[in-house]
Chain A
Amino acid sequence: NAGVTQTPKFQVLKTGQSMTLQCAQDMNHEYMSWYRQDPGMGLRLIHYSVGAGITDQGEVPNGYNVSRSTTEDFPLRLLSAAPSQTSVYFCASSRTGYEQYFGPGTRLTVT
């Protein structure tokens, strides 16, 4: 099993550009989530999904969209990048809704 994979590993965007961060898992987990991690602030939940076709907002959803058309994939879209979105983004999945398995992260810089 590859576990949770994320692409790209690094990305630099200009303000106003849009892009999609990819996340996939091969463990058949129903629960998936996206977090951002900023220095001194731990992980903050952006969006999550409890199954294909079902998504909901987390703590910091503004400026981000998600969809869940399959169990395996949970892409995160940045609509119009802003410098405040410079962060490390982690995708995670869970079978039970309790312990989560995290991907390796995407480091995003917005200039």
Chain B
Amino acid sequence: EDKVVQSPLSLVVHEGDTVTLNCSYEVTNFRSLLWYKQEKKAPTFLFMLTSSGIEKKSGRLSSILDKKELFSILNITATQTGDSAIYLCAVEATGGFKTIFGAGTRLFVKA
């Protein structure tokens, strides 16, 4: 059965800390891995990763994929209170438009 597992499920840090969120997956016919940020309502897209070892970066956020070990990490440096959100990892498989989401990591950044 295809599955995506995120850890930790929740995390509390102080402003300025660096955090690493983990996503491991078991999916038949892997196509891509995506990270989303969900604040109060709808998830919004952060990154899409398809190749191992290539870091994607956007400001203080970065992500990398390891297709051999079947995991990805999302790093956030110099965290701010505005980073408080649920971070969702999703994997897409070939052979259709089926996306499998992990349960998410709830991050809370204290001022």
Residues of A within 8 A of B (CB): 4, 31, 33, 35, 40-45, 48, 50, 56, 58-59, 90, 94, 97-105
Total cross-chain contacts (CB, 8 A): 57
Q: In the complex, which residues of chain B have a beta carbon less than 8 angstroms from the beta carbon of A35?
A: 101
B80 within 8 A of A: no
B88 is contacted by which of A42, A97, A105 (Cβ under 8 Å)? A42
CB<8 Å pairs between A and B, sample of 10: A33-B97, A40-B9, A40-B103, A41-B103, A42-B88, A45-B98, A48-B97, A90-B43, A97-B97, A99-B45
Q: Are A58 and B98 in contact (CB under 8 A)?
A: yes
Q: Bound complex: CA of A49 vs CA of B103, how far in Å?
A: 23
Q: How many residues of B contact A (CB 8 A)?
A: 23
A56 contacts across to B, CB distance below 8 A: 96-97
Known A40-B103, A42-B102: A98·B34 in contact at CB below 8 Å? yes
Taking the nearest CB of chain B, how far is it from the CB of A7, in angstroms?
A: 14
Query: What 17 new A-B contacts, CB under 8 Å, besides A40-B103, A50-B97?
Result: A31-B97, A35-B101, A40-B9, A42-B101, A44-B101, A45-B98, A48-B96, A48-B98, A56-B97, A97-B92, A97-B97, A98-B48, A100-B43, A102-B42, A102-B43, A102-B44, A104-B42
